[in-house]
Amino acid sequence: MRNEQGPLPTDIYLSFVSSLYHNRGMLVIGMLLHVATFLLVFLKTSDAFYLACIVAILFLWVLRNLDMMRFDRSDLSDADDAAVRRWENRYIAGGVAVALTCGAACAYAIAVTRDSFAQLACISVTLASLSPLVGRNFGSERAVLLLLSSAACLPMMIAALSLGDPFMAALAFLILPFILSTRMMANNVRSFLSEKVLSARNDNLLSAEQIGTIASQFETALNSMTRGLFMLDRHSRVAVVNERAAELLRLGDKAELKGMPIDDVLERGARGMALDAEKSEYIATQLHLLIAGRRSRTLISIAEDLFLEFAAYPRENGEVVLILEDMTAHVLAERQILYMARFDMLTGLPSRNHFAELVHDAMGVDAAPDRDVGFLLLDVAEFRHVNDTRGHIAGDKLLKAIAVRLKSLAAAETIAARLMGDEFLVFFPNLPGRSDLKERICGLHAELQGTYVADGLRFEMAIDGGFVLVNASDFRFEELQIKADLALSEAKKRGHGGCAAFEEAMEARYLDRQKLKVDLREAVAGRALDLAYQPMFTPDGSRVESCEALARWIHPERGSVPPPVFIQLAEELGLVTELTRLVVAQACRDCLSWPPEVAVSVNLSVLDLRGDEIVGVLTGILKETGLAPDRLHLEITESCLMADPARVQKVLHQLRAGGMTIAIDDFGTGYSSLSYLDSLPVSVIKIDRSFVHDIDEDSRHFKLLLGIVNLARALELKIVAEGVETPEQLQLLRERNCADLIQGFVFAAPMPASAVAALCTHTSQARAASVGSPSADFHENPSQPKSLG
Ligand code: C2E
Ligand code: CA
Ligand code: CA
């Protein structure tokens, strides 16, 4: 069948042919009409020909109905044009047979019967049944043409012509326009309908070009996904797969995967990734759970360096979309974070928190409550010195080397960790059958000390250790760490490289010290500290040039607390600059009550020189009290200079620029090199009393003192000799011109401020009377303390 654009698509052709077969009602009506008409004509004419026509009509009707039922039963979903045409032909054959019967009846009535009723009845019923032809048979152009011509045209025209009557001949030709117009109508209806059907269908369908474009867009989108995708059909066979999925599971060419059962796909992946049977089975199980909808997503560790997350999205029609994502970077980052929280990055040893967890676990598993466990705290002695002199890189390498040795010594039975900086912790579990816990701890400590090579340098390292042994049933982590810490402090006090066991007395001392700290804080806040002054005399004792302010703390219960003790406590409490501020303020006020040529010396703590706050504090006090800056001397120890040389140097220059005098205290006990003095704004050195106290007995000591003196003289520094106790010492120092000023019990012990005023008056009177040495009657008098504030 064709329309104006060419052949009709098969499906439309088929629907037109189907329409022929589905008009059964019309067929029944036509059959009844024909039978009734021929019956009437028979009754009128008694001509058996019409009975034959009735029989023919009924026979054809039965045949055509049977054919229609066959059509209904046949499966035409895959029918091609030829098959459809066969059905069309069968229909046309039936139609033409009926039309021929009618045409024959007409022709017979016109040419043979010549009865006017028979003629009228036959022609009317034939033409009447031709009109619905259009409505019924428009689907087949050939059917319309053949029916019209066979039913109407030929028999009727032949019969009319055969009569030899010119009027009847004319009538025969007048039938032609009717045939043509009917055919035209049928054709119009058909082409109108086929056009509508085609355009409606084209609106819904896409052109091949459009389909191609969409397919390639889909393919591009699919293959540029960062996630892998499988679309599985109802039988878990691959319907769609993208490049990423094939790549993630090492599946090779994705084109080969189409239609493959997912199990085979997995097998192929397992081969590609060389997975063992157990692993591939596990992965398969997980995927089956996903596909079955028992789980929506799952993270699978395919290999050490490959973690994939699978997610399943089931569809209503039984298909499943599987999405897989490479989570490796994510998982590894998470692990790294966890590792960083648990382990020290430099040494790879557990950090404190993780160490606590490990120890806790070890205690939970196999600690026998009746046996001891050990806890050793280690501190690398003078490690800061390595950092300061060799740099942090060398320092880090040294720590690493120590950690490596620690790991090898600690072995499997113990747990080692790095605390902050240069401190390490080792836990010794109570292994069955080992009672030598103490020896094991001391042995490890001893072997850890010694020579290390790091960053191409050799280091001879001493390591301080403090340990505690405790019954496993009394194990409390925090408490043990504190106890080991106390033991470590004790070891440090005894000199470097020792290893001390915790003793109860240490804890008592520790608690005592904590209490003393509380009291000191109160004393500083309440300004309950006092000052004593110790004068520095010219060697002949005729004149006091300066007095050193020395802090005093009389504890309400414990009595006098030695300055080195409470100064250290103040440093630990962060209170020392506040203490310095109080001391300097009082010292300046007291100095104002002395003769103008007498200066006052104050001691600064290492911590005072950490920042430049001290510059403001001191200049502020000088301004407030109105004391001339050159009457304020500052004593700093050599250790102050070592901490942060550049910063301290800067602060000292600022102080010197403010007019204050700077003295190095306890000279000779700290730094071995004297050359640094050259670059500092220092004008006085105070030679430590350890160089002075046996010069009259040990000539070697005296030579050492002379060496220091020569150096100081070369640097044009003023020399104060500290701790001069005996006239013999004084005599020696004078003879060899070893000091510009003498401080010591030989002239005067520390005394109250008021006593200084009296002493100065006394010495100036003595000078006036030209008598040499001052009396040593002036001593500290705790009964008349001069309170700070
Ligand atoms: P230092 O600065 O070396 O002070 C001198 C110490 O030697 C004083 O002890 C003094 O009493 C003592 N001394 C004086 N002459 C003799 C003597 O002939 N023989 C002997 N054996 N000792 C003598 P003190 O007052 O107990 O002070 C001890 C240390 O406490 C001071 O040593 C100083 O470093 C520190 N100190 C004292 N007061 C303060 C302060 O206000 N601030 C700071 N930061 N430190 C202070
Ligand atoms: Ca001093
Ligand atoms: Ca000193």
Helices and strands in the chain, H and E counts: 28, 24
Per-residue pLDDT band for 783 (boundaries 50, 70, 90) equals very low
SS3 612: coil
Q: What does the pLDDT look like over 42-83, one tens digit per residue? A: 999 999 999 999 999 999 999 999 988 888 888 777 778 888
Query: 601 CB under 6 A from ligand 1?
Result: no
pLDDT for position 435: 66
Q: How far is the CA of 363 from the centre of ligand 3 (A)?
A: 51
Torsion of CA 27, 31, 33, 37, to 10 degrees: 160
Measured from the CA of 725, which atom of ligand 1 is nearest? 18
79 or 681: whose pLDDT is higher? 681
Q: How far is the CA of 789 from the centre of ligand 3 (A)?
A: 25
Per-residue pLDDT band for 681 (boundaries 50, 70, 90) equals very high
Nearest 5°: phi and psi at 543? -150, 140
Contact 428, 409 (CB under 8 A): no
Q: What does the pLDDT look like over 449-507, one tens digit per residue? A: 999 998 888 999 999 999 999 888 888 888 899 999 999 999 998 888 999 999 999 98
pLDDT for position 774: 55
User: Which ligand does the CA of 551 lie closest to?
Assistant: 1
Which residues keep their CB under 5 angstroms from ion ligand 2? 603, 635, 665
User: Among 783, 762, 247, which Cα is nearest to 537's?
Assistant: 762
Lowest-pLDDT range of 198-202, 316-320, 706-710:
198-202
User: Judging by DSSP bridges, how do beta strands 661-667 and 463-471 pair with one another?
Assistant: unpaired
Q: How far is the CA of 580 from the centre of ligand 2 (A)?
A: 13
Q: What does the pLDDT look like over 635-646, one tens digit per residue? A: 999 888 776 778
Average pLDDT estimate for 683-704: 88
Contact 469, 437 (CB under 8 A): yes
pLDDT for position 776: 45
pLDDT for position 782: 41
pLDDT for position 366: 64
Distance of alpha carbon 708 from alpha carbon 160, whole angstroms:
162
292 or 775: whose pLDDT is higher? 292
b (16+ CB within 10 A) / e for 592-618: eebeeebbbbbbbbbbbbbeeebbebb
User: Among 717, 696, 705, which Cα is nearest to 668's?
Assistant: 705
pLDDT for position 363: 83
pLDDT at 679 over 70: yes
Average pLDDT taken over every residue of the chain: 87
Task: Among 84-98, 158-172, 424-438, 717-731, name the most confident range.
Answer: 717-731
Distance of alpha carbon 607 from alpha carbon 578, whole angstroms:
11
Lowest-pLDDT range of 37-51, 421-435, 600-614, 759-773:
759-773
Q: How far is CA 428 from CA 77, 123, 438, 468, 504, in A?
A: 85, 125, 10, 10, 20
User: Which ligand does the CA of 607 lie closest to?
Assistant: 1
Distance of alpha carbon 524 from alpha carbon 522, whole angstroms:
6
206 or 656: whose pLDDT is higher? 656
Query: 539 CB under 6 A from ligand 1?
Result: no
Average pLDDT estimate for 169-190: 79
Distance of alpha carbon 172 from alpha carbon 765, whole angstroms:
177
Distance of alpha carbon 232 from alpha carbon 656, whole angstroms:
86
244 or 206: whose pLDDT is higher? 244
pLDDT at 647 over 90: no
Q: How far is the CA of 635 from the centre of ligand 1 (A)?
A: 11
pLDDT for position 770: 62
Q: How far is the CA of 722 from the centre of ligand 1 (A)?
A: 10
User: Which ligand does the CA of 730 lie closest to?
Assistant: 1
pLDDT for position 704: 87
Tokens 């052709």 -> residue: 13
Average pLDDT estimate for 609-614: 89
Query: 567 CB under 6 A from ligand 1?
Result: yes
pLDDT for position 576: 95
Measured from the CA of 688, which atom of ligand 1 is nearest? 3
Query: 750 CB under 6 A from ligand 1?
Result: yes
Q: What does the pLDDT look like over 701-745, one tens digit per residue? A: 888 899 889 989 988 999 999 999 999 999 999 999 999 999 999
Average pLDDT estimate for 191-219: 77
State percent of the chain over pLDDT 90. 45
Q: DSSP secondary structure string, 367-389?
A: --TTSEEEEEEEEETTHHHHHHH
Q: How many CA atoms lie within 13 A of 634 on its CB side?
A: 30
Q: How far is the CA of 725 from the centre of ligand 3 (A)?
A: 14
Query: 688 CB under 6 A from ligand 1?
Result: no
Q: How far is the CA of 115 from the centre of ligand 1 (A)?
A: 163
pLDDT for position 5: 42
Q: How far is the CA of 550 from the centre of ligand 1 (A)?
A: 6
pLDDT for position 187: 80
Per-residue pLDDT band for 671 (boundaries 50, 70, 90) equals low
Measured from the CA of 552, which atom of ligand 1 is nearest? 38
Q: How far is the CA of 760 from the centre of ligand 3 (A)?
A: 22
Average pLDDT estimate for 352-377: 84
Query: 577 CB under 6 A from ligand 1?
Result: no
Query: 266 CB under 6 A from ligand 1?
Result: no
pLDDT at 300 over 50: yes
pLDDT for position 4: 41
Q: What does the pLDDT look like over 410-445, one tens digit per residue? A: 766 788 999 888 999 999 887 766 668 888 899 999
Q: How far is CA 761 from CA 176, 538, 594, 599, in A?
A: 164, 15, 9, 15
End-to-end C-alpha distance for the chain, whole angstroms: 123
Determine how many CB atoms are found less than 10 A away from the CB of residue 743: 26
User: Among 235, 226, 220, 107, which Cα is nearest to 172's?
Assistant: 107
Average pLDDT estimate for 255-265: 90
To test ligand 1's pocket by mutation, which of 524, 537, 547, 550 has the most ligand atoms within 8 angstroms of CB?
Answer: 550
* 3-state helix, strand and coil shares in percent for the chain, rounded to the nearest 5: 60, 15, 25
Q: Whose CA is nearest to atom 11 of ligand 1?
A: 750
SS3 403: helix
Q: Whose CA is nearest to atom 7 of ligand 1?
A: 723
State percent of the chain over pLDDT 70. 92
Q: How far is the CA of 776 from the centre of ligand 2 (A)?
A: 20
Average pLDDT estimate for 161-172: 83
Contact 377, 423 (CB under 8 A): yes
Average pLDDT estimate for 366-391: 85
Query: 497 CB under 6 A from ligand 1?
Result: no
pLDDT for position 434: 63
Q: How far is the CA of 643 from the centre of ligand 1 (A)?
A: 22
* Long-range contacts of the stretch 619-624 (C-beta < 8 A, 24+): 619/658, 621/581, 621/584, 621/585, 621/588, 622/588, 622/658, 622/660, 624/585
Measured from the CA of 637, which atom of ligand 1 is nearest? 34
Query: 282 CB under 6 A from ligand 1?
Result: no
pTM for the full predicted model: 0.55
pLDDT for position 87: 87
**Rg, C-alpha atoms of the chain:** 60
Query: 744 CB under 6 A from ligand 1?
Result: yes
Measured from the CA of 745, which atom of ligand 1 is nearest? 18
E strand spans, 488-631: 499-501, 530-537, 544-555, 559-561, 599-603
pLDDT for position 3: 41
Q: How far is the CA of 722 from the centre of ligand 2 (A)?
A: 9
pLDDT at 186 over 60: yes
Q: How far is the CA of 744 from the centre of ligand 1 (A)?
A: 10
pLDDT at 784 over 50: no
To test ligand 1's pocket by mutation, which of 520, 603, 726, 779 has the most ligand atoms within 8 angstroms of CB?
Answer: 603
pLDDT at 700 over 50: yes
Q: Whose CA is nearest to atom 13 of ligand 1?
A: 723
Q: How far is CA 559 from CA 68, 532, 553, 600, 750, in A?
A: 130, 16, 8, 27, 17
pLDDT at 153 over 90: no
Query: 689 CB under 6 A from ligand 1?
Result: yes
Lowest-pLDDT range of 414-428, 543-557, 582-596:
414-428
Average pLDDT estimate for 107-128: 87
Return the amino acid letter for 86: R
